[in-house]
Amino acid sequence: MSKVERRVRSLVDEDGEMRDALEIVLDRATDGEVQWVDVRDEITSGQWGRLIEKEILVDGERGFALADPDEIEAGMNENDGDDGGDVETPETTSWTKWDKLAAVATIGAFVGYAVGPVRDAIAGAIDIVLGPLLNLVPFYVVIMVIALGTGLYSTLLRAGLMDMEKMSQYQERMKDIQDRRKEAKERDDDEALDAIQEEQMDAMGDQLGMFKEQFRPMVWIMFLTIPAFLWMFWVIGYRGSDSAYPEVAAQELVVPLAGTVTWDTGIVGPIQMWILWYFLCSMAFTQLVQKSLNIQMSPSTS
């Protein structure tokens, strides 16, 4: 059931006279459009206003156009007893074995924050690639390079692995339920409210589906980001651990408000300067990558 058909059914259920008004509008429509002067002698201004309010009539070239004549006629047919919404629940995306392996590896990498040998092993491997950069450019530039890389692949992974169409369907179904619930409250239809309440409880599974859609790319993003973050953790030293590059950790820099600090200075509580700089760079580069590649990161509802 489309939106137009559902809106027509809702109007007809609220007021049986709306069926006659719709038939008149359909009959008077020329090339899919109708003007108020064509129907004002046969329907009331209130009925006309309701058709516009519900977007059954939309702006046209010379007056108002019928949103969808076929769906309007379908909505005028006798209700077959199905009071459900017009949005079906999409199938939940299944994780592949590689997704599951990445999740396990990500959990293992998290251990590196608490277990020194694990951190040293992961960071030592990453140091083979990133370590030489410390001899070429300042540490703040190295962080910018890492932030640019994480922003690029996180954007591409989210765009490639997260099905925006399904996300839109999940959101559209929840919005559809909320709209029908509001309409049922307006007409004091307790029976419809009870049915919608049950449907809303069933739709709680949509929240799990949305979470799975969102978390799948996050697993891969964390799988690639945590080792780089552990390397910076290892270079500077954190929470009592020794710095692998003491000369880098002791470098001084001047920042607004805080003044002269070093990379291991706590800026906001336990958040050290290098962490703050990474997140600022990461947010900026992520937005830059999304705009440059024209990638939409949030689902749109029709």
**DSSP string of 33-99, one letter each residue:** EE-HHHHTTTS-HHHHHHHHHTTSEEE-SSSEEES-HHHHHHHHSPP-S----S-PPPPPPPPPHHH
Q: How far apart are CA 110 and CA 58, in angstroms?
A: 54
The total number of residues written for the chain in this structure: 302
Q: Which of 123, 115, 124 is nearest to 233 (CA)?
A: 123
For each of the chain's 302 residues, which pLDDT tens digit applies? Answer: 466 777 787 778 767 788 888 888 888 887 788 888 888 888 888 888 888 888 888 888 888 888 888 888 887 776 544 445 545 555 556 677 888 888 888 887 777 777 778 888 888 899 998 888 888 999 999 999 999 999 998 888 888 877 667 777 777 777 887 888 888 888 787 777 777 777 777 666 666 666 777 788 888 888 888 888 889 988 888 766 778 888 888 888 888 877 888 888 888 777 888 889 999 999 999 889 888 888 766 655 44
What pLDDT sits at residue 20?
Answer: 87
Other CB atoms closer than 10 Å to residue 179's CB: what's the count? Answer: 16
Q: Maximum CA pair distance of the chain?
A: 88
DSSP 7-52: HHHHHHHH-THHHHHHHHHHHH-BTTEE-HHHHTTTS-HHHHHHHH
- CA distance linking residue 111 with residue 229, whole number of Å: 13
Q: How many angstroms separate the CA atoms of 223 and 107, rounded?
A: 9
Copy the structure tokens of residue 34.
Answer: 């109708």
Q: Degrees (nearest 5) of the Cα angle 177, 179, 183?
A: 115
DSSP 3-state of 258: coil
Q: What is the predicted pLDDT for the residue at 82?
A: 46
End-to-end CA distance of the chain: 15
Taking the C-alpha atoms of residue 76 and residue 51, their distance in angstroms, rounded to an integer, is: 13
